[in-house]
Amino acid sequence: MRVVLQRVSEASVTIENNVKSSIKSGLLLLVGIEDEDHQEEIEWLCRKIINMRIFSDEDDKMNLSLKDIDGEALIISQFTLHASTKKGNRPSFIKAAKPDVAIPLYKAFIKEFEKQLDKKVGTGEFGADMKVSLLNDGPVTIIIDSKEKY
């Protein structure tokens, strides 16, 4: 599982000209799922992301977590995070999980994130054509891959 997290001042996702979700200060998470991903990775990623100290404290040092600032989160499915660009100019998405595997894991990720953060999060809609808007704060953008946790 691969997650691109962006510290944001605000973010939203629009589907068919309707805003589905929006947040203020917090994290925008783009989540890419592979076939071999499982619940253990979800729990580890959620814990890692929620407790990552990437928000500024009173001394303007990145020393506070999403939980510390009582921040919000917007979680968007993003199969293109597993694009392979080794051959040619057209990316291959062979490593991205198919919907029958990805949808339950995406929903499990959202549920686990809400459980660990102890609040509801904003979401996109799996497989929809989404327009994501954000005001990146910093900018701070970090890529986390569960395969690289050890």
Range of the domain at 135: 2-148
Task: Work out the pLDDT band at 149, boundaries 50, 70, 90.
Answer: confident
Nearest residue to 107 via CA among 119, 125, 83: 125
Q: Is 80 a catalytic residue?
A: yes
Mean of the pLDDT values across residues 4-22? 98
Contact 99, 79 (CB under 8 A): no
Mean of the pLDDT values across residues 31-42? 92
Task: Work out the pLDDT band at 99, boundaries 50, 70, 90.
Answer: very high
Q: What is the per-residue pLDDT for 35?
A: 87
Q: Which of 25-34, 94-103, 104-113 has the lowest mean pLDDT?
A: 94-103
Mean of the pLDDT values across residues 45-65? 97
Task: Work out the pLDDT band at 116, boundaries 50, 70, 90.
Answer: very high
CATH number, domain of 75, equals 3.50.80.10
User: Catalytic: which of 14, 80, 123, 141?
Assistant: 80
| C-alpha pair distances (Å), 77 with each of 29, 82, 88, 107, 126 | 8, 12, 25, 10, 6
Task: Work out the pLDDT band at 150, boundaries 50, 70, 90.
Answer: low
Task: Work out the pLDDT band at 12, boundaries 50, 70, 90.
Answer: very high
- Structural domain count, the chain: 1
What pTM was estimated for this model as a whole?
A: 0.94
